[in-house]
Structure 1
Amino acid sequence: MFKEFDLSNLENSKELLEKFLDENRKKVDELLKIENKTYKNFVLPFQEIGESINDFLTPIFHIDSVKNSEITTKVYEECIPVISKYETEISQNENIYSALVDIQSKEKSTLNNIQNKVLENEIRDFKLSGCHLENNKKKRLEEINLRLSEISHKFSQNLLNATKSFEMIIDNFEDVKEIPASDLELAKFEEEGITKYKFTLQMPSYLAYITYGTSREKREEIYKAYCTRAPENGKIIEELLALKDEKVKILGFENYAQYSLATKMASKEEDVVSFLEELGSKAKNRAKEELEEIKALALKDGISDFKSSDMSYYSEKLKKAQYDLDEEYYRPYFEQQSVLNGFFDFLHQMFNIKFTKANTPAWDEKVKVYDLSEDGKIVARIYIDLEARKEKRGGAWMNNWHTYHRNSKGEIKLPTAYIVGNFPQSTEETPSLLRHSDVVTLFHEMGHALHHLLSKIEEPFVSGISGVAWDTVEFPSQFLEYFSYDKDVLKLFAKHYQTGEVLDDAAIDRIIKAKNFQSSLATVRQVEFALFDFKLHQKLYKTEEEIQNLLDSVREKFSAMIPPRYNKFQNGFSHIFSGGYSAGYYSYKWAEVLSADAFYMFIDSGNIFNKELGIKYRDTILSQGGSYDMDKLFFNFAQREPSVDSLLKIDGIIS
């Protein structure tokens, strides 16, 4: 039923991939020889070929980000040119393009909406890949695509190497005395009979010091190390931008932002910029007030020259003072397995899906694998890898492996996905105890996963997250995230790992009240990232200096706190330089409008566990994948257009 995760032959991946792609080339040639091409005899098997490549490649690329080593990097770098060449060949094959156009013109009236959506998307994507261009331009596009693949991976690898290479060793207990016991335990080591503490740029370790580290100098040291990582990425960014600009000009676009919007729900550049500027303007005054509150607290410690490296430390102190909210107090109540069990219970109550542990191999002993079932029938599989490891890329993400579809033999193929996090590690003495922010992240990534896994669309190119417009792909993840702040939901799993005691109402109220703590600062920060990204792709910025000047100008307009000159945030902005969000980072906020509005429907219904509404959401949004544009699906669910005010209300920016 499900393919097992198996990379026993990893070192031979390049040869296996070449052989596999050659077989696919032959299959495509056979399809092109068909005299009377139809949706059934041409488009269906063509989609299957695409799905088979995802099946083959995903584990190879995935292992490089979760168990990075010299071998995984070597294999990744060997496979990139092979797959890039194949994808360019296919996407620029005029015969496939002509066949799709021909089938569309002949069969449009007899095909259903979903089949027509597949054809529309495919024909659009062939045009976007330059299929209609003359050969010398196609050749140049092929070279550009290959180089972009190589250097965006290099960007990511530089960041990972820089993250791995930094260590801050502290032997004075005074400098670590405020750090929570569980974090301190992970940092502690003995050397020549002396107890010392090691902090790295891995997210749990970095956060532990920047948030609780007593020494101001050490906080600045680790902050500076973090935001000056991989300076060599500055030159990579110059090359990435130049290549992207050249690519889209060959394709007939004025700039990369315009090209990016061709596949998104937002249709005009000015719509994106004005949306972000409106959000930034509405949040900025309150953000400045929030910053002044932090500075006032720091002033009590005699700090008049408040710095960016002081922000997390004094924000945490202020949060504790205002809400008596100490993240550490909560961690014993958020033991990883307990959280998962309660989360699964919630998802069962909401969407009528059940999670059952599967006994199947994964890439690490701490990965948990579950089968999902609806009405007693297995429908999907998920791999959950939550704990930080040295060889794991930072952050959290969902990765889709198989997509729900019906193959040409009429068999239903079931979907699989991975969720990856960098949460506190478990040891033999202590289980993995999460922060509430980790719980929020888990809900977020599960939102993505369920969008993929609960699809009931039989065409693989528009099933699950395939074919979903990039600026709406965050809608289901952010929607689910809101439930991680609900009292009744939290009570399902917030249980002390030693005593079993459920977190009390007063403690939960503090989490809920603190949800919008510094929400305006968070909003202007996201606006800063998104406007920088979008404007960066509206014209060609040629040098590191020009790029920095753009970032400075965005900060000047919207940021409450201007970071130090040495802060090279852009060199670590992997979302846009190695993660597919180029001219698309705005989509987090764009999609949040949908998610906040959908969540308000549950609040307004008077029952957060409104199963009828939950099933409606599952059936009108999650199960539909990318088969229809999200604005249409949202309307089907809500019976109205979304409102930006729901987002501003939920963030406490307006009342």
Structure 2
Amino acid sequence: MFKDFNLENLENSKDILQELLDESRVKINELLNIKEKTYENFVTPYQEAGERINDFLTPIFHIDSVKNSEITRRVYEECLPIISKYETEISQNEKIYTALKDIQSKEKSMLNSIQNKVLENEIRDFKLSGCHLDNNKKKRLEELNLKLSELSQSFSHNLLDATNSWEMIIEDFEDVKEIPKSDLELAKFEEEGKTKYKFTLQIPSYLAYITYGTSREKREEIYKAYCTRAPQNGKIIEEILKLKDEKVKILGFNCYAQYSLSTKMAKTEDEVVSFLEELGHKGKAKATEELEEIKQIAFEDGLEKEDFRSSDMAYYSEKLKKAKYDLDEEYYRPYFEQESVLNGFFDFLNKIFDIKFEKVEAPAWDEKVRVYNISSNGKLSSRIYLDLEARKDKRGGAWMNNWHSHYTDSKGITHLPTAYIVCNFPQSTETTPSLLRHSDVVTLFHEMGHALHHLLSEVTEAYVSGISGVAWDTVEFPSQFLEYFSYDKDILKLFAKHYETKEVLDDAAIERIIKAKNFQSSLSLVRQIEFALFDFKLYQKLYKTEEEVQEVLDNVRKEFAAITPPSYNKFQNGFSHIFAGGYAAGYYSYKWAEVLSADAFYMFIDSGNVFNKDLAVKYKDTILSKGGSKNMDELFFDFAQRQASVDSLLKIDGIIS
């Protein structure tokens, strides 16, 4: 039923891939030789050929992110030019393009809306690949696509290497005395008969020191190390911007931002910039007030008025949070033991969506990866892999990666979807289980929202099933929507149980989490606006040097940032979302989609019951099961029977009442 994760033959991937692509070329030529092409005899097997390649390639690229080694890098680098050449060759094949247009022209009225959506997307993407251009331009696009893929991978590897190469050793207990016990246990080691503490730039370790480290000098040291990682990425950014600009000019666009919007729900550059600026201006005044609150705590601690630094933010924010809400992260962590969280989370998902998770023994890439089969309405529907704990050989951050899609092939066989969720939660040891922060719980809900969008698809066409074919600026809607439930008291009680005493977290403690939800929400908003506007403006014209890139960021910060970071802060060199991921000129998508997710969640609030199963099942049927088969604004309207409102987002964040 499900294909096992198996990379025993990893080192031979290049040869296997080459063979697979050659077979695919033969298959596509056979399809092109069909005299009377139809959707059934051409488009369906054409999609299947793409799925077979994805089936083989996804684990190879995935393993380089989660078990990075010299072998995974070499295999990735060997496979990249081969697949890049093939994808360019296919996407620029005029015969396929013409066949798709002919089928659309002849069969449009006979096909269902989902099949027509496949054709519409494919024809659009062929145009965006330069299919209609002359051979010289096609050749140049092929070179550009390969080079951009290589640069993205170099950016990512540089960041991983820089993260892993730095450490801070502390011997004086005075410098670590405020750090939570569970974090301190992970940092502690013995050397020459002395107890020492090691902190790294991996997120759990970095956050532990920047948030709780007693020594201001050490906080500055680790902050500076974190935001000056991979300086060589500055030159890579220059190259990426130059090549992307050249690529889109060949395709007839004025700039990369315009090209990016051609596949998104937002229609114009002005629409995106106005949307972000409106949110930023609405949040700025309150963000400044929130910053002043943090500074006040710092001044009471003896800091001089003019001496507050960016590296002080996390430490004094935590003190302020504790003072305002009596919220101590360390108090909560024993209640968010990973196993308990997962079991309660699955229970909640079963209650509202009627889906069941069953743990299965199946091969994976690490002994701590958990594998579950998911049943929907009592019927086996999908499989998910959870890789939740931080490791040195794993890329930072959290993400969902889709492997197989739900679809029906030309023989009438239904293929079930699979996906991976990857996080970097605190590690479990032989003596201590993985104890999560509430923010980790929120992350888990977020990534599961993505996963369910892919795994609960009932669409039978692979290219618009699950997250395939979903406009990038709405793909965050289901993930952000599920996040909101992680702040509900009754839901938290399903899993917030002390891992030793089994005592359920009491109401007062849960209320503190809920009240603190919008703590510094305006600071968080303007920070996201800073990222999104920097990203979008960066791609509205060509910026040629590191200095020009910095100037774009500085100008955005002047207008929207509550605090200006030190000049050595090179945030952009670690902005992997846009330079090593798919968010270039699209980081605004987080906020764009959040309008949909906040409005959808408000429907549950207004119903008076967050466990509203009727509403949840409607959401599952109208949003999750439909994947990319319709535009998300249409699906949202089907669900809510109205357009989404920006005010829902501002209300849910406590920015307006």
Say yes or no: TM over 0.5.
Answer: yes
Instruction: Report the 3-state secondary structure (helix = DSSP H, G, I; strand = E; otherwise coil) of the residue aligned with 1:168.
Output: strand
Deviation track 1:601-633 (CA, whole Å, cap 9, x = no partner) reads 001001110000000000000000000000000
Q: Which of 568, 571, 577 is equivalent to 1:566?
A: 568
Deviation at 1:331, TM superposition (A): 0.3
Instruction: Report the 3-state secondary structure (helix = DSSP H, G, I; strand = E; otherwise coil) of the residue aligned with 1:373.
Output: strand
Deviation at 1:302, TM superposition (A): 1.5
State the AA in 2 paired with 1:102.
Answer: D
Deviation track 1:437-456 (CA, whole Å, cap 9, x = no partner) reads 00000000000000000000
Q: Distance in 2 between matches of 1:79 and 1:512?
A: 47
Instruction: Report the 3-state secondary structure (helix = DSSP H, G, I; strand = E; otherwise coil) of the residue aligned with 2:197.
Output: strand
Q: Distance in 2 between matches of 1:47 and 1:5?
A: 22
Deviation track 1:191-239 (CA, whole Å, cap 9, x = no partner) reads 1001100000000000000000000000000000000000000000000
State the AA in 1 paired with 2:123.
Answer: I
| 1:245 maps to 2:245 | yes
Q: Distance in 1 between matches of 2:53 and 2:524?
A: 39
Q: Distance in 1 between matches of 2:634 and 2:301?
A: 54
Q: Distance in 1 between matches of 2:136 and 2:37?
A: 29
State the AA in 1 paired with 2:566.
Answer: P
Q: Distance in 2 between matches of 1:15 and 1:328?
A: 50
Q: Which of 449, 462, 478 is equivalent to 2:464?
A: 462
Q: Distance in 2 between matches of 1:428 and 1:29?
A: 56
**1:45-444 alignment runs, 5 A limit:** 45-304=45-304, 305-444=307-446
In angstroms, what is the RMSD of aligned CA positions?
A: 0.4
State the AA in 1 paired with 2:9.
Answer: N
Instruction: Report the 3-state secondary structure (helix = DSSP H, G, I; strand = E; otherwise coil) of the residue aligned with 1:140.
Output: helix
Instruction: Report the 3-state secondary structure (helix = DSSP H, G, I; strand = E; otherwise coil) of the residue aligned with 1:470.
Output: coil
State the AA in 1 paired with 2:65.
Answer: S
Q: Distance in 2 between matches of 1:377 and 1:121?
A: 31
Instruction: Report the 3-state secondary structure (helix = DSSP H, G, I; strand = E; otherwise coil) of the residue aligned with 1:458.
Output: coil
Instruction: Report the 3-state secondary structure (helix = DSSP H, G, I; strand = E; otherwise coil) of the residue aligned with 2:536.
Output: helix
Deviation track 1:157-182 (CA, whole Å, cap 9, x = no partner) reads 00000000000000000000000011
Instruction: Report the 3-state secondary structure (helix = DSSP H, G, I; strand = E; otherwise coil) of the residue aligned with 1:378.
Output: strand
Deviation track 1:495-517 (CA, whole Å, cap 9, x = no partner) reads 00001100000000000000000
Corresponding residue for residue 20 of structure 1: 20
The runs of 4+ residues in structure 1 deviating greater than 4 Å are none
Normalised by the size of structure 1, how large is the TM-score? 1.00
Corresponding residue for residue 647 of structure 1: 649
Deviation at 1:374, TM superposition (A): 1.6
Q: Distance in 2 between matches of 1:341 and 1:408?
A: 38
Corresponding residue for residue 530 of structure 1: 532
Instruction: Report the 3-state secondary structure (helix = DSSP H, G, I; strand = E; otherwise coil) of the residue aligned with 1:402.
Output: coil
Q: Distance in 2 between matches of 1:536 and 1:215?
A: 37
State the AA in 2 paired with 1:172.
Answer: D
Deviation at 1:301, TM superposition (A): 1.6
Identical pairs, percent: 80
State the AA in 2 paired with 1:470.
Answer: W
Instruction: Report the 3-state secondary structure (helix = DSSP H, G, I; strand = E; otherwise coil) of the residue aligned with 1:515.
Output: helix
State the AA in 2 paired with 1:74.
Answer: R
**1:532-611 alignment runs, 5 A limit:** 532-611=534-613
Corresponding residue for residue 636 of structure 1: 638
Instruction: Report the 3-state secondary structure (helix = DSSP H, G, I; strand = E; otherwise coil) of the residue aligned with 2:419.
Output: strand
Unaligned segments of structure 2, at least 5 residues: none
Instruction: Report the 3-state secondary structure (helix = DSSP H, G, I; strand = E; otherwise coil) of the residue aligned with 2:287.
Output: helix
Q: Distance in 2 between matches of 1:309 and 1:12?
A: 46
Deviation track 1:76-114 (CA, whole Å, cap 9, x = no partner) reads 111110100000000000000000001000001111111
Unaligned segments of structure 1, at least 5 residues: none
Q: Distance in 1 between matches of 2:608 and 2:562?
A: 37
Q: Distance in 1 between matches of 2:440 and 2:50?
A: 34
Q: Distance in 1 between matches of 2:531 and 2:51?
A: 33
Normalised by the size of structure 2, how large is the TM-score? 0.99
Q: Distance in 2 between matches of 1:31 and 1:301?
A: 73
State the AA in 1 paired with 2:97.
Answer: Y
Instruction: Report the 3-state secondary structure (helix = DSSP H, G, I; strand = E; otherwise coil) of the residue aligned with 2:518.
Output: coil
Deviation track 1:355-410 (CA, whole Å, cap 9, x = no partner) reads 00111111111000000002321100000010000100000000000000001100
Q: Distance in 2 between matches of 1:495 and 1:133?
A: 61
State the AA in 2 paired with 1:168.
Answer: M
State the AA in 2 paired with 1:495.
Answer: K
Q: Distance in 1 between matches of 2:51 and 2:484?
A: 33
Q: Distance in 1 between matches of 2:562 and 2:273?
A: 19
Q: Distance in 1 between matches of 2:376 and 2:631?
A: 25
Q: Which of 471, 474, 479 is equivalent to 1:472?
A: 474
Q: Distance in 2 between matches of 1:191 and 1:430?
A: 21
State the AA in 1 paired with 2:197.
Answer: Y
Q: Distance in 1 between matches of 2:376 and 2:120?
A: 32
Instruction: Report the 3-state secondary structure (helix = DSSP H, G, I; strand = E; otherwise coil) of the residue aligned with 2:592.
Output: helix
Deviation at 1:638, TM superposition (A): 0.2
Instruction: Report the 3-state secondary structure (helix = DSSP H, G, I; strand = E; otherwise coil) of the residue aligned with 1:196.
Output: strand
Q: Distance in 2 between matches of 1:609 and 1:45?
A: 42
Instruction: Report the 3-state secondary structure (helix = DSSP H, G, I; strand = E; otherwise coil) of the residue aligned with 2:219.
Output: helix
State the AA in 1 paired with 2:560.
Answer: F
Deviation track 1:98-146 (CA, whole Å, cap 9, x = no partner) reads 0000100000111111100000000000000000000000000000000
Instruction: Report the 3-state secondary structure (helix = DSSP H, G, I; strand = E; otherwise coil) of the residue aligned with 1:497.
Output: coil
Q: Distance in 1 between matches of 2:265 and 2:361?
A: 40
Q: Distance in 2 between matches of 1:118 and 1:374?
A: 25
**Number of aligned positions between the proteins:** 655
Deviation track 1:249-295 (CA, whole Å, cap 9, x = no partner) reads 00000000000000000001000000000000000000000000000
State the AA in 2 paired with 1:196.
Answer: K
State the AA in 1 paired with 2:477.
Answer: F
State the AA in 2 paired with 1:526.
Answer: Q
